[in-house]
Amino acid sequence: MEKMRENDGKDTAVQVRDYQTELEQIMRSNVSPRVLKDRISDYHENDIASSFEVLTRDERERLYRILDAEQLSDIFEYLDNAEIYFEELNARKKVEVLSCMEVDQAAALLKRLDKPERNMLIDLIDNESKRDIAMLESFDEDEIGSRMSMNFIEIKAGISIREAMRELIDQAAENDNISTLYVTDDNHTFCGAIDLKDLIIAREGSKLDDIIMESYPYVYAREMIEDCIERMKDYSEDSIPVLDENNKIIGVITSQDIIQVVDDEMGDDYAKLAGLASEEELNEPIRQSVHKRLPWLIILLGLGLVVSSVVGLFEGVVAQLTIVICFQSLILDMAGNVGTQSLAVTIRVLMDENLDGKQKLGLVFKEARVGMCNGMILGILSFICIGAYVVFAKGMTPFFGFSVSACIGVALLLAMIISSISGTVIPILFKKFGVDPAVASGPLITTVNDLVAVVSYYGLTWIFLIEMLHLAD
Amino acid sequence: MEKMRENDGKDTAVQVRDYQTELEQIMRSNVSPRVLKDRISDYHENDIASSFEVLTRDERERLYRILDAEQLSDIFEYLDNAEIYFEELNARKKVEVLSCMEVDQAAALLKRLDKPERNMLIDLIDNESKRDIAMLESFDEDEIGSRMSMNFIEIKAGISIREAMRELIDQAAENDNISTLYVTDDNHTFCGAIDLKDLIIAREGSKLDDIIMESYPYVYAREMIEDCIERMKDYSEDSIPVLDENNKIIGVITSQDIIQVVDDEMGDDYAKLAGLASEEELNEPIRQSVHKRLPWLIILLGLGLVVSSVVGLFEGVVAQLTIVICFQSLILDMAGNVGTQSLAVTIRVLMDENLDGKQKLGLVFKEARVGMCNGMILGILSFICIGAYVVFAKGMTPFFGFSVSACIGVALLLAMIISSISGTVIPILFKKFGVDPAVASGPLITTVNDLVAVVSYYGLTWIFLIEMLHLAD
C-alpha cells in the first residue's frame, strides 16, 4: 500500500506539472488563434491560471487576446496574485473581465489596485456590478455579508413546477450556484428554498409548495463571521442565503465561501496562538514579517522585565542556595506549557460553542482538575528524578537532594494548577469584555504563569529549605 | 451598526432556540401521528436533531415511530453523538436507517457501536451498503478514500443530451450530489465531468461531448489527505471524483467533506502547536484530557531536566554575580517566543505548498534575517531599559548596569537568531524524515532554544562580565 500510495502521489504530482508544460508548449506552438483557443479551452481554469507564472508576458498577452472575457474572468478568479497579471490587460478587457468576475472576487481585486485606476475602472463597469461591489464593500470584513456571492437563483412563490424549471433554465445562464433555488415573495422577502434535485424529480402535476423547504437556514449580512460560521457548518447545505435587516435575500454563502472562511479563521487562530499578528505567506517581504512579529515581541519583552524584577526580589534566596537556579527554567517552562494547553482548549471551545456561565465555570473546574492530575504525576516524577540527580550528579546528601526536589515537586504542582486555571479564566474574561481571546491571552498568560511559578518556587525554597531546614550554602 | 449587529445576533440566536422549543411543544401536543409527521417535516433535519437533547426518551421513541427511515437517517447524520440515540431504535429501524445513511456516516456510526451489535447490523444491512462500507473501511483514516461519499451520478460517454437528462432524473432519486455528473466509459474509467448547469441550459440538438470537461480535477483514493487537500481547495469545485488505481471512479469528495477535512486538519495543527495530542471536546472526561496532555508534559519535563543540568554548569557564574539570574527567564522566554513564531510560519508553509530545496533554504535565510532584525531592535531596547533598571532600581553604578545590560542585549540577539533558524530547520528536517513536524517540533525547539539561550547568556556573562570586567560581587 505504502508503495502504491507513492505512485499515486507521483502520478498526480506529474499530472499537475504536465498541465503547466503542456500549456506552455501549446502557447509556444504557432497555430491559428481558433485552434489555440480550442486547445486551451480543454484545460481547467485553475491549471491555466497556474501556467501563467511559466509563460512569458508576450505569451500571456497572446492568451488575453484569444480568450473571451468570460473565460479570462474564470481564470483570474483562480490567480493568487491576480492584480499583477490584471495590469497586463488593456483597459477594455479589464472592464469586461471585472464585470464577468464573481462580485466578491472583483471587489477583492479592485482593492489591490492603486486608487486612480480603481476609480477609473469602477466608473467604467456596468451599473449592476457597480451596485453589487458597493453593497459588498458596505460590510466590514468580519461581517458575513462581506463574503457573500450575489450569484444565485431566485424564483417567485406560487408559480408551477414547469414555470420554476423554465425560470431555472433562464437564470442558469447567468448564475452558477443552481443547486439550491431561493423562493421569495413579491418584495423579495425570503420564503424558503428548493433543492434542485427535488425540482428535477418532481412530477409535472405536483405543486411547487410541496418541495419548498420553509425551514431552510439563513444568516443576516451584518452577523459577525465568527458568530455564524459554526451554524453554517452545522447545516452543511451547499449554499445559505444572506438576508438584510428586512429579511430580503441579498446574496448567498456557498460551501466554497465556507471553506475559505473556515480556512482563514483557523489560520488566524493558529498564527495568533504562535504570537503572530496574522498568517504569513511564503514570499512575504522581510519588513512585513518583522512588522507582524515585532509588536508581540516588544510586549513580551516588557512583560518579561516584570518577571525579571520579581525574580530580582529573590536574589537573596539564590545567593544563599545557588543550586535552586538550575531548576527555575524547568518550573517556568512547565507552567508555560500547561497554560498553553489550557489556553488552546479554551479558545477552541469558545470558538465552537456558545457557553452559558455554568458551562464556563465547569470548563474552569475541569481544566483545574486536569492541571492537578498532571501536576501530581509530574510533581512526583520530578521529586524522584531531580532528587536522584542532585544526589548522584551533584554529590549532595540524600536528605539535601530530596528536600530540594520535594520543594520543586510541590512548586511544580502549584504552578501547574494555577497555570491551567489562568489559561482558562483569562481567555474567557477577554471574550466577555469583547477582546479577541486568541490575540490577547498568550502573552498575559505567559507572564502570569511565570510570576506564579517564580513566586511559588522561590517562596517555597525560602520558607521550606532556608528558613525551616537551614540548607543555605 | 454595532447596535444592529447585536439585534441580528439576537434574532438568530432566538430563532435557533425557538426551533428546539417549538419541536418540543409539537412532540408534547397529542395530535394524530399523521398531523405530527406533517408538522415535524416542516423543520430542518439539523434542528430536529438538535431538539433530541431536550426531548424525553419516550418523545424521541414516538418520533422514531412516526418518521420513516429516510427522514430518520437524515436526522441521524446531523447528530453529534448519534450512537447514544441510535441505541433507542429497534433492530429493524436500525438496519433501515443505516442503509439510508450516507456510507461514510454509517461507517462512522458503526465504529462507535460495540462489536457484537456492529457485526449483527453489518450482517443485516443490504449487500450494497455492506460492500460500500467495507470499501470505505479498507482505507486508513489519513487516506482521502476514507472521507469519500459513494453518492454521485455516473453517466456513460457517448449518449445524447436527452438521454443524459433522463439518466440524471433516474439517478437523482437515489443520489443527492447532482451538481456535477461524472462521465465514464464502459469499464467505469473516469473520462470527465459535466456541470449540471451546462446540461440544463444545453440545447436539445447539441452533442454531449461539447459540455464534457475533460480536464476536470480528480484524486486517488490512496492519496494522503494532507497531500491532496490543498489541491482540492484550489480547484474549488463542488465535488471531486475519487479514483482507484485503475482510474475507475469509486466515490466523490463533496465540498462538505472538504470543509470537514480542512476543519479537522487545521484543528489538529492548532492542538499540536499547543502540545496537545489532538483536539479536545468540551464534554470530554478528565481521564481522557489528562491522557491527551500528559505524554507531552512528561517529554517536556525530561527535556527540561536537560536544560536544568546545563544551567547547573553555570552555577559558579551565578554564585559570583547573582544579579544575572534575574534576566535568565527573560532571555529564555524571548528565545522561546521567537522560535514558536518561526515554527508556526514554517509549519503552515510546509502544509500549504510543496517547497523544493532552494525554497526551503530561502525560508531558513528569511527567518534568520527576520530573527536578526527583531533581535537587534529588542537587543538595543533591553540594553537601554535593563541598564536603566539595574542602575535606578538596583542602585548599581551606570558602568556595572550597562555592562550587564549590554551582555543581555547581545545574548538576546544571539538567542533570537539561532531560535529562528532552529524554528525553521527542525520542522523541515522532521518533514524530510517523514515525522509530522507539527507534533515533534514544539518540544525539541523549546529545549534547543533554552539551551542556546542559557549557554549564550551565561557564557557571555562569564567571559565578558566576570573574566574581562571582573564585576563579580
Identify the CATH number of the domain in which residue A427 sits: 1.10.357.20
A251: closest CA of chain B, how far (Å): 16
Pairwise CA distance, residues B381 & B140, whole Å: 52
Asked, for residue A2, whether it belongs to a domain, the answer is no
DSSP state of A359: H
* Weakly modelled stretches of chain A, pLDDT under 70: 1-17, 282, 440, 473
B329: closest CA of chain A, how far (Å): 7
Pairwise CA distance, residues B228 & B123, whole Å: 34
Nearest to A344 among B16, B274, B389 (CB): B274
CB distance A298–B78 less than 8 Å? no
Asked, for residue B473, whether it belongs to a domain, the answer is no
Q: What is the pLDDT of residue A458?
A: 92
Residue contacts between A and B (CB atoms, under 8 Å):
371
One domain for residues A257 and A298: no
One domain for residues A263 and A382: no
CA atoms within 13 A on the CB side of A291: 5
Asked, for residue B148, whether it belongs to a domain, the answer is no
One domain for residues A262 and A380: no
The candidate with the shortest Cα–Cα distance to A103, out of A73, A74, A125, A133, is: A133
At B155-186, the pLDDT tens digits run 999 898 989 989 998 898 888 888 899 999 98
* ipTM here: 0.81
At A406-445, the pLDDT tens digits run 999 999 999 999 999 999 999 999 888 877 777 767 777 8
A443: closest CA of chain B, how far (Å): 9
One domain for residues A300 and A443: yes
CB distance A301–B235 less than 8 Å? no
CATH label of the domain that carries residue B212: 3.10.580.10
One domain for residues A198 and A100: no
Give the mutation candidate from A39, A141, A308 for the B interface (greatest B CB count, under 10 A): A308
Point out the domain boundary residue: B140, B166, B199.
B140
- Which of chain A's residues have a Cβ under 8 Å away from the Cβ of B202? none
One domain for residues A89 and A168: no
The candidate with the shortest Cα–Cα distance to A447, out of A308, A330, A322, is: A308
One domain for residues A341 and A421: yes
- Which of chain A's residues have a Cβ under 8 Å away from the Cβ of B328? 311, 325, 328-329
Asked, for residue A75, whether it belongs to a domain, the answer is yes
Please give the tally of structural domains in chain B. Answer: 3
Amino acid (one-letter) located at A384: I
One domain for residues A136 and A194: no
CB distance A9–B271 less than 8 Å? no
Nearest to A43 among B215, B266, B325 (CB): B215
| Residue B181: strand, helix, or coil | strand
CATH label of the domain that carries residue B65: 1.25.60.10
CA atoms within 13 A on the CB side of A346: 36
Asked, for residue A1, whether it belongs to a domain, the answer is no
Q: What is the pLDDT of residue B440?
A: 67
One domain for residues B290 and B438: yes
A156: closest CA of chain B, how far (Å): 20
Give the mutation candidate from B51, B337, B343, B355 for the A interface (greatest A CB count, under 10 A): B337
* Weakly modelled stretches of chain B, pLDDT under 50: 1-17
Asked, for residue A322, whether it belongs to a domain, the answer is yes
One domain for residues A316 and A464: yes
3-state secondary structure A140-168: CCCEHHHHCECCEEEEECCCCHHHHHHHH
Pairwise CA distance, residues A150 & A145, whole Å: 10
Point out the domain boundary residue: B225, B248, B273.
B273
One domain for residues A205 and A308: no
Point out the domain boundary residue: B211, B244, B273.
B273
CB distance A385–B328 less than 8 Å? no
DSSP state of B215: T
CB distance B326–A319 less than 8 Å? no
Asked, for residue B243, whether it belongs to a domain, the answer is yes
Nearest to B332 among A217, A329, A394 (CB): A329
- Model-level pTM? 0.82
One domain for residues B293 and B202: no
User: Which domain covers residue B309, as residue numbers?
Assistant: 286-468
- Return the C-alpha cell found at B340: 514558536
Asked, for residue A311, whether it belongs to a domain, the answer is yes
